Amino acid sequence: MSQKFILPSRLLPWPICWPGVVLIAESEACRLVVYKDIAGHWTLGWGQTAGITEGMTWTQTEADADLCNTLITLSAEVRECLTRDASDNEFAALVSLAYNIGMTAFRRSTVAKCHNRGDKTAAARAFHLWNKAGGKVINGLVARRAREAALYLSEDRGQKTEDSQLPALRAANQQSSVLSPLSSEPGQSPDADPVKPLAKSPTVQTGAASVATGGLALAAQYSPQVGQVARSLAISPLVVAAIVAIVVGALVIWRRVQQRKGGVA
């Protein structure tokens, strides 16, 4: 069932640029009668769950004010995480991500880390890491991450251009609802860790296995008394193979770490 198109009041003291407010509002959607989200939490307004109980209702004015107040608090927290300045559009995209995934996740996110070290391309790419809910890729989250990354990369052009962006923003948000009705439900948050920790990465595990295998081979060759100093330096081919295994495994792990730092899943 499609929902009525609606935006919050533009007259409120929004702490981020208007395209960012539009992105958040249309991604979350607004409900004025309390309901349970997919996680079973009572939810109201623009996805608010804090202090919400059964039977509550809000007016549109109350819902808009709640969103504005939430973004004011959230914007201050996001700004505290940044060690590098952000343009209006960059900042709005970062706040949108934090609104969706929560500040705990945002603080440790690759997006924040890449932004702080000045790697804008990697930061934009890293938005796409947060595309899962319940362990599954959600089309609506894929679409939202794409819009956030695009906003993050876009040039700040002033108020007039912001108004002209609204039709495209509306069309993009409506498309995300068509892609996945479930994802348009307010309160649906991405997984706390949308990508596997490096320790669980198959690539890293393969590299670690290579290092471990090489290490065991070396240990076997160099005992006792370090293999009598590797048989007076007449080193066995097995030792050479073990050293190669360790080097290759270490390179595999190093490469995967660099990919993760670059925002690649």
Please list the active-site residues. Answer: 28
- Contacts for 177 with CB less than 8 Å, ≥ 6 apart: 2, 3, 140, 183, 184
Cβ distance 44 to 187 under 8 Å?
A: no
Phi, psi dihedral angles at 43 (to 5 degrees) = -135, 145
CA distance 17 to 201: 38
Angle at 239 between CA 234 and CA 243, to 5 degrees: 130
Tokens 């343009």 -> residue: 87
Q: Where are the beta strands (DSSP E) in 49-205?
A: 132-133, 136-137
Cα→Cα distances 196→129, 143, 200, 204, 263, Å: 10, 21, 6, 11, 13
Residue 56 class from Cβ within 10 Å (0-12 exposed, 13-18 middle, 19+ buried)? middle
